[in-house]
Amino acid sequence: MTIKSLLLAAGLATSLLLGLPAHAQTQMLDQVVAIVDDDVIMASELRERVQGITQTLQSRGMELPSEDVLIRETLDRLIIESIQLQMGNRVGARISDAQLNAALERIAAQNRMSLEQFRTMLEQEGQSYAAMREQIRREMIIQRVQSGNVNQRIQISEQEVNNFLASAEGQKLSQPEYRIQHALLPLAPDAPESEVETARTYLEGLLRRIRGGEAFDQVISASTDRYPFSGGDLGWLKADDLPSLFSDVAPDLEAGATSDPIRSPSGLHLVHMADMRGGGGQMVEQTRVRHILVRPSEIMTDEQARDLVASLKERAEAGEDFADLAREFSEDIGSAAEGGDLGWTNPGQMVPEFEAAMAETPVGELSDPVQSQFGWHVLEVTDRREQDMTREAIRARATEALHQRKYEEELDAWLRKIRDEAYVDIK
């Protein structure tokens, strides 16, 4: 039996599936469509993924590929995912509910919604929130597996950085950069002046709140019930890369400032300067920190890992040497031998949870147990200092640009490699 005939027998084909009544669909017998090492892919799993892709493409007004192509490409994607998830399982990669919830909250925030609003939207669109959670968990595990395996394949030499900085693209790194947040209140180009003035008055009310200290994104998110705001975080942009509408306004804004309403054919805009960097001396506050890391595993639950970290904190506070405890218990191979010392760290260098705990911990004190994607930490801040990092920051951004360029290339090569090395039997 061919793949196509097998999938048709399992009720996978979208043309047949969509025409069947619900009771008929539930009566279909599930079947194995592929064996991937120690895992299997079921027809029901493939069917659900094909339906999801079909709905997404249709909602975007995109042309659907042929049924054969859609099935084949979706199955191949599931095979690659299965290989990576098995790799993650073998090394004990886990995503806790807390980490998953934080990721979902970030996704909701990017869509200017609370987590509950995001959940409601999914249900209204006929999507399962529980299924969405598990898909995001899978994707987070896959991302962790990819990062761990691909990053070690990437080497960037000092000469490569020098060559990049000497290029036209690299020279732009020394120019100022702006992180812009943008909100658009839509108005028709020919909207009556009275409508424009009503909208402008409303925006000026929001501006007073923002300039009074409320967060720009929170004020805009809370106002979407009255006006369908669009926009968001534009990320870091050079002056040359700013949208023409903002290019005359943004460079004159100080960090944290928000522009007056700007009229365009699309409506009224607010431009918020979230941050800026480069273009001169870049002073940063560096933190000297050491930590102990305990990872949950098959023999240690998440709760047990946290309890162990808490007990190690108590022992250090009672007088035991933190460095000795790190050498004995820390599972961060890179720092354990150094007594947990991570050296001087720059802002943004650590994962967000670790960064936040580090910022809240006074010099000479220990943090409460903190959870990150790597496990449970207790950290000690040993010193802080102001440091001019202009040159280092430029080279770091150059290295990041080169790394991203190489990452995509290496990821493609690595995915082909693990696919070729895996045992795959398509039924």
Instruction: Write out the chain's pLDDT in tens, 427 residues.
Output: 444 444 443 334 333 333 334 444 444 568 999 999 999 999 999 998 898 888 888 878 888 889 899 999 999 999 999 999 999 999 888 888 888 888 888 888 877 788 888 888 888 877 788 888 988 999 999 999 999 899 988 999 999 999 998 888 887 777 778 888 888 998 999 999 999 999 999 999 999 999 998 989 888 888 777 778 888 888 888 877 888 888 888 888 888 999 999 999 989 999 999 888 766 556 778 999 999 999 998 889 999 999 999 999 999 999 999 999 999 999 998 899 999 999 999 888 899 899 999 999 999 999 999 999 899 999 999 999 987 767 777 888 889 889 988 999 999 999 999 999 999 999 8
State the Cα–Cα distance between residues 343 and 338, nearest whole angstrom.
10
> Domains (ranges, CATH) in the chain?
3-150 (1.10.4030.10), 175-277 (3.10.50.40), 283-388 (3.10.50.40)
Q: Taking the model in full, what pTM does it have?
A: 0.51
- Cα dihedral 409, 346, 372, 274 in deg (nearest 10): -80
Distances (CA, A) of 170 to 161, 195, 346, 388, 400: 9, 46, 22, 20, 11
User: Residue 313: is it exposed, middle or buried by C-beta count within 10 angstroms (0-12/13-18/19+)?
Assistant: buried
